[in-house]
Homo-oligomer: A and B are copies of this chain.
């Protein structure tokens, strides 16, 4: 069985959980507590699995694969149906660009490591961290909302079924809510997020529904 090195609050791991659920692929979740002070990702055992010491990582019969988007593309090839991608090549490219605006522009700046650097090296307090965090979400969401305004309104980002764009959008919106982000300027993104969260594959992948979730 596939083994997912996972953390309930990691939004990159959340993407992979959604993908596995959409493909109806059974997997074992191995919780790696990456919370500051716990730092289980630094453990020698996990380090041999993933020298980058990050989650998610997927262990298959071939070995360990890192990077949520690479994992999702491997799942797409190994389990083609239902597809994460639109059938038309140009729409597929646009869906990838949408997903990458989140995965390569917004999310990396809001990861634990840069936030820790801002606190430690620049004395950023929680107000400064929040401002940084929300700034990158707003910048990316402005581009994505503008993109959506040029497209027909469909239940999910690129059509009637959820795909790679929704897989990246929902975890990013969860992060945004944690940081009191104002969704008012982004009605199309908010509507898709709400609809996708109600989908069983997304609901089962939600942070609060993971066995390592900490309620507080």
Contacts and interface: CB of A to CB of B under 8 A. Distances in A.
SS of A interface (majority): helix
B109 A69 contact: no
A114 interface: yes
Interface stretch (A2-10, A93-101, A172-180): A93-101
Interface stretch (A32-40, A59-67, A195-203): A59-67
Nearest to A135: B117
A110 B146 CA distance: 25
Given A100-B70, A122-B122, A122-B124, A94 B65 contact: yes
Contacts of A94: 65, 70
B96 A89 contact: no
Contacts of A100: 67, 69-70, 103-104
A104 B135 contact: no
Q: How big is chain A's contact interface, by range?
A: 35 or more
Interface string A79-108: 000000000011011101100110111011
Contacts of A124: 122
A212 interface: no
Interface in A104-141: 104-105, 107-109, 113-114, 117-118, 121-124, 128, 131-132, 135, 139-140
B143 A65 contact: no
Contacts of A96: 67, 69-70, 73-74
Contacts of A97: 65-67, 70-71
Interface of A: 51-53, 60, 62-63, 65-67, 69-71, 73-74, 77-78, 89-90, 92-94, 96-97, 100-101, 103-105, 107-109, 113-114, 117-118, 121-124, 128, 131-132, 135, 139-140, 142-143, 146-147
Q: Which are the 4 A-B pairs with shortest beta-carbon distances?
A: A52-B143, A108-B108, A51-B146, A70-B96
